[in-house]
Amino acid sequence: MNNKFDELAKGLAQSVTRPLALKKIGAGMASIGLAALLPLPAASQLSPLVELSRPNAVGTCDDGFRLPGTMTLDDAAEPSVAVNPAHPNNIVAAWIQGPIQNNIAAASLDGGTTWQQVPLPLTACSGGPYIVAGDPWLSFAPSGDLYCVGLAGPSHSALHTVVCKSTDGGLQWSAPVILDTPDFAPDKTTITADPTDSHLVYAAWDRLNFKNHGELGFTRTTDGGNTWEPARSIFATPPGQLAQNTQILVLPDGMLVDMFYLQYQKSPSQPVTSLGVQLMRSSDKGQSWSAPIQAVTMQPILQPNSSGETLTVDPDTGTFVRDTTDPEFAVDSRSGDLYVVWEDGRFSNFQYNDIAFSMSADGGLTWSSPIRINQTPINIAPLNRQAFYPIIAVAGNGTIGVTYYDFRFNTPDPGVPTDYWLVRCHPSPNAPATNPANWGNEVRLTSASFNLEALPFVIDGFWFGDYLGLAPVGGGFISAFDAVDQDGITGIFARRVGE
C-alpha cells in the first residue's frame, strides 16, 4: 500500500506543475497554490492555508440549475474531509461547487501540501447523468478504500441518495450507485466505514416528507461496496417531530451508535418548540436498533417563527445568517467516549449563541451537563460574541478539537470581519473534558478576517452551507472550511494543525 501511494504521490507532484498566484483574503489571508511543494510544518505549527476550490474544477460549465440566491458557479460550500488510515499522508476533501450543481473532491498524497481536484461523476458538467448534486460526506475504510455519499438528481425535488467509491486515494471515482429514491425529501447524508472491518460501510440520511413527520434512512454494505442492502427507515417520528442530522459512530467494542436530533413542532407551519439529541444503538452491525435514548436537550436561540434555523445575525445590520441547529458528533476511537457540540443560548442568558459540549463515557446511556467551550471574548459587544457552525473531531491521542466561526474582531467600520477558530482539550483523569477550564489552546485558522457580507445570500440569509470538515491526522487535525477570497468568491480552504 505504501509503495502504491508513494508512486501516486510522485505522479501527482509531477502532474500539478502550475502554481497558483499567492492570494489574499480581506487584509491578508494567504492562499497557497495547489502545486506549491513546501515541507510539512513542525507539529506545533499551522500549515499554509490552501484554497481547494479554485480554479473551478469544471470551468465555466453550467448545467442551468440554480439554488435561489446569489451563489455563483465559482462559490463553494459544505466541505467534508477524511484521512486515509492506511496511508495518513492521503487526505481528501469534498464540497459542493456552484449553486448545488457539482460535488468536487480534492486529493492530497503528501499530507496536504499539494492537492488535485477531481469532479465526482454525478452531474452533466462532471460526466454524470444529473443536474443537481450536494451534501458530500467522506469516509475511509481501514483498507484505504474511500466512500463519498451525497445527493444527486434530475431536479431539486427528485433527489437520490448516491454513493461513489475510490480505490486510489480519491484520484478516480466509480459511477454513482443509487442507495435511496424516496417519495419524500432526503437530506444530510453521512457515511461511516467500520474501522474494524473494511467490508462494512454504513450510510445514513434524513428522510423528510414535510408532512409533520420524519424518518431516518439507513443502508449498509457487507462486501466493501460491491452491493448495498435495500434502504430502510430505522426510526420514524410521531406527528409533530422531525428526526435530523443522523450519523453512525462505531465504538471500540463494535457497537454502532446512531446519533441524531429531534425537532418538536405543533405543526409544520408552527415554530420549533424544543430540540434534543437522541441516539440508538446496534450490537449486530446495523441489522437491528434499540429504541431511542435521550442524550441532551439543546437550547439554541432560534430565528423568530423558525422551522429550525439558529438565530445568528450580521451584528451590524441584523440580517440573518442561514445557520442550522445541527449538532455535530464524534467518538474517541480508543476510549469509546462520545461527544456532541451544538449552538446554545443558555450560557449568555439567551443574548446570543455559544458553542456547547456534552459527552458520554458509557456508550451514550448517560450524558454530562452542557458546558461552554468557545473562547470568544465576553468583554465585547454581545452580537460580536456570537459563535456558530461548530464541528468536532478526536485525534488519535485523544485530543478533542472543535472549530467554529465568530465575530470577535468586528468594528463599527463597514463590513463584518469573520474568523474561524479551533479550540482543543486533551482529557485526562485530572483534566476531564467536562470542565470548561480544560479547554483552550485556541488556534486561528483564518490568517486574516473575511467579510461576512461577501458570502452568497441564499433564500433569506448569508450562507456557509450546513456543515464543515474536520478530521484527525496524527496528533492534530485537518480543517476544511468556507471563507471569502480576494476576488469575493466563497471558497473551500484547508489548513492542518499539529499537536
| pLDDT confidence of residue 423 | 98
Mean pLDDT, residues 207-224 taken together: 86
| pLDDT confidence of residue 212 | 66
Mean pLDDT, residues 358-373 taken together: 98
Mean pLDDT, residues 378-403 taken together: 97
Choose the weakest-confidence range: 9-13, 86-90, 387-391, 490-494.
Answer: 9-13
* DSSP-derived secondary structure for 94-123: EEEETTTTEEEEEEESSSSSS-EEEE-TTB
184-206: burial string, b at 16+ Cβ within 10 Å, e else: ebbbbbbbbbbbebbbbbbbbbb
| pLDDT confidence of residue 165 | 98
How many other β-carbons are positioned within 10 Å of the β-carbon of residue 449? 24
Mean pLDDT, residues 287-314 taken together: 89
Collapsed DSSP state (helix, strand, coil) of residue 307: coil
Checking if the pLDDT of 306 tops 80, the result is: no
Cell of 398: 485523544
Tens-digit pLDDT profile for residues 126-173: 999 999 999 999 999 999 999 999 999 999 889 999 999 999 999 999
Predicted TM-score (pTM) of this structure? 0.92
| pLDDT confidence of residue 15 | 42
- List alpha helices for 183-309, DSSP H: none
The fraction of the chain above a pLDDT of 90, given in percent, is: 80
Confidence tier at 20 by pLDDT (50, 70, 90): very low
| Local structure of residue 431 (DSSP, 8 states) | B
| pLDDT confidence of residue 241 | 83
How many other β-carbons are positioned within 10 Å of the β-carbon of residue 88? 13
Confidence tier at 17 by pLDDT (50, 70, 90): very low
Checking if the pLDDT of 16 tops 70, the result is: no
C-beta separation of 13 from 114 below 8 A: yes
| pLDDT confidence of residue 266 | 54
Distances 80 to 149, 194, 426, 450, 480 between C-alpha atoms, Å: 11, 18, 24, 21, 7
Question: Which carries the bigger pLDDT value, residue 7 or residue 202?
Answer: 202
- Tell me, what amino acid is at 122? L
Checking if the pLDDT of 76 tops 90, the result is: yes
Collapsed DSSP state (helix, strand, coil) of residue 212: coil
Checking if the pLDDT of 19 tops 60, the result is: no
Checking if the pLDDT of 224 tops 50, the result is: yes
Tens-digit pLDDT profile for residues 46-59: 999 999 999 999 99
Quote the mean pLDDT of the chain. Answer: 89
- Tell me, what amino acid is at 237? T
| pLDDT confidence of residue 25 | 25
C-beta separation of 464 from 77 below 8 A: yes
Architecture of domain 2-497: 6 Propeller (2.120)
Cell of 107: 486529493
Question: Which carries the bigger pLDDT value, residue 18 or residue 244?
Answer: 244
| pLDDT confidence of residue 9 | 56
Question: Which carries the bigger pLDDT value, residue 303 or residue 314?
Answer: 314
Domain map (residue ranges) of the chain: 2-497
Confidence tier at 208 by pLDDT (50, 70, 90): confident
Mean pLDDT, residues 299-325 taken together: 88
Torsion 442-447-448-454 (CA) sign: negative
Mean pLDDT, residues 371-399 taken together: 97
Mean pLDDT, residues 276-282 taken together: 97
